C-alpha cells in the first residue's frame, strides 16, 4: 500500500508526510550502512567513501510540482515527486557502483520501481550517476505503507563534477552561455577519464598484491617446509649478529 492509498486522499498534513519520508530515509540509510559493514567484514575493503541523505525542502517540492504544472497537494507530492527522500552513495571506484547497486537490488524488503543508468547513458549535460527509485515498507499502527526513496550512486569524481556543475549552472538559472555548457561537458569527459585511470591503477595494484600473496604462500608439500617442520635443517641465518 502506498501513502495515498493509506490516507485515501493523501496525508492530512505536511508533518505526516515528513515523518513517513524521514522514516524511510533512516531505514534505507541503515540498510546501506549494514551492507557496507558486511562488505568490510568479508572482503576487508570499504567500497563507500561517504553517504549523504536529505529530505527535499518544501520550496523545492513546490517548485517541482509547478514545473510539472501540477496542483500543490499532498496527494500530488506523493504521486509525482519521487525524490522527497533522497540518499547519495559516493564510492571509490567506477565498478563499485554496480557492486553496490546489485547489493541494494537483492535486498528482499526493498522494491526497485525504476533504474536510470546515466553511466551507460550520460545526460546531455555530461551528468553521470546510477539512480534507483525504491520503496521501503514502513510499519505503522494502521498497517504497512511503502515509501519512495531515490538512491543515487556515483564515484567521488562524479560527485565533485555534479556538485560544482550544479553550483555553476544554478547561477544562470538554466540559461548558461553555450561555452559554459561546453566546458562543463568537457570537464565531465575528464572526470570519466580520471575514473577509468584510477580503476586501472587499482586493478594493477590488486593484481600485483595477489601475485605477492602467491609468492609468500606456503606450500605444505614443499621440501623446505617439511625439513623445517621436522627440524632436519637448522636455520643459521642469525649467527652473524
Q: Which positions touch ligand GTP (CB under 6 A)?
A: 83, 116, 123, 125, 127, 131, 162, 165-166
83 vs 146, which CB is nearer to Mg ion? 83
154 binds, among Mg ion, ligand GTP, none (CB under 5 to 8 A by kind): none
The alpha carbon torsion through 195, 196, 197, 199 (nearest 10 deg) reads: 80
Catalytic positions, written as ranges: 150
Cell of 178: 553555450
19 vs 127, which CB is nearer to ligand GTP? 127
CB of 19 to ligand GTP, least distance (A): 22
Distance of alpha carbon 74 from alpha carbon 239, whole angstroms: 83
Among 37, 38, 156, 41, smallest CA distance to 93 is for 156
83 vs 165, which CB is nearer to Mg ion? 83
159 binds, among ligand GTP, Mg ion, none (CB under 5 to 8 A by kind): none
The alpha carbon torsion through 57, 61, 66, 67 (nearest 10 deg) reads: 100
Q: Is 165 in the site for Mg ion (CB under 5 A)?
A: no
Distance of alpha carbon 141 from alpha carbon 174, whole angstroms: 45
Q: Site mask, Mg ion, residues 76-105, x = CB under 5 A? A: -------x----------------------
Amino acid at each position: 500500500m502506498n501513502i495515498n492509498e493509506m490516507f485515501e486522499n493523501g496525508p492530512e498534513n505536511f508533518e505526516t508526510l515528513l515523518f513517513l519520508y524521514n522514516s524511510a530515509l533512516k531505514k534505507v540509510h541503515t540498510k546501506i550502512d549494514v551492507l557496507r559493514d558486511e562488505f568490510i567484514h568479508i572482503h576487508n575493503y570499504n567500497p563507500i567513501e561517504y553517504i549523504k541523505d536529505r529530505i527535499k525542502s518544501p520550496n523545492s517540492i513546490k517548485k517541482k510540482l509547478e514545473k510539472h504544472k501540477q496542483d500543490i497537494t499532498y496527494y500530488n507530492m506523493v504521486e509525482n515527486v519521487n525524490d522527497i527522500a533522497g540518499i547519495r552513495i559516493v564510492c571509490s571506484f567506477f565498478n563499485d557502483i554496480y557492486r553496490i547497486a546489485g547489493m541494494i537490488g537483492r535486498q528482499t524488503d526493498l522494491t526497485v520501481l525504476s533504474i536510470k543508468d546515466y553511466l551507460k547513458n550520460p545526460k546531455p549535460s555530461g551528468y553521470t550517476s546510477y539512480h534507483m527509485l525504491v520503496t521501503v515498507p514502513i510499519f505503522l499502527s494502521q498497517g504497512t505503507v511503502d515509501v519512495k526513496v531515490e538512491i543515487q550512486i556515483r564515484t567521488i569524481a562524479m560527485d565533485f563534477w555534479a556538485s560544482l556543475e550544479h553550483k555553476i549552472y544554478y547561477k544562470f538559472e538554466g540559461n548558461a552561455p553555450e561555452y559554459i555548457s561546453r566546458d562543463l561537458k568537457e570537464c565531465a569527459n575528464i572526470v570519466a577519464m580520471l575514473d577509468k585511470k584510477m580503476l586501472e591503477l587499482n586493478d594493477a595494484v590488486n593484481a600485483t598484491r595477489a601475485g605477492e600473496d602467491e609468492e609468500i604462500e606456503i606450500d605444505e608439500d614443499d621440501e623446505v617446509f617439511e625439513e623445517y617442520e621436522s627440524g632436519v635443517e637448522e636455520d643459521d641465518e642469525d649467527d652473524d649478529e
